[in-house]
Amino acid sequence: GYKCVKLLGQGSFGRVFEVEKSGWRYAVKISRQGAQYEKSCKREGSIMEDINHLEIGPKLVDSFTHEG
């Protein structure tokens, strides 16, 4: 799993953490609960998947829903 390193920021949408896994550092966005946030996350994930092949900006490495 991912090990939380520190909170990078937070806002109306949720929080972003710096995490580590297998020696690599990533940013993890955790959105607030609610249908509107889930829809926005799915849309953002879809866009990130579409542009992953381009050599610009951040890459989407993983996407999941955590219940609990």
48: Cβ contacts below 8 Å, ≥ 6 apart: 58, 59, 60
The burial class, CB within 10 Å (0-12 / 13-18 / 19+), for 55 is exposed
What are the tens digits of pLDDT across the range 1-51? 899 999 999 998 889 999 999 999 999 988 888 888 889 888 988 998 899
Give the three-state DSSP class for 3: strand
pTM of the model: 0.75
- Is the separation of the CB atoms in 37 and 43 below 8 Å? no
Residue 3 among known ligand-binding residues: no
Measured CA to CA, the distance from residue 13 to residue 67 in angstroms comes to: 18
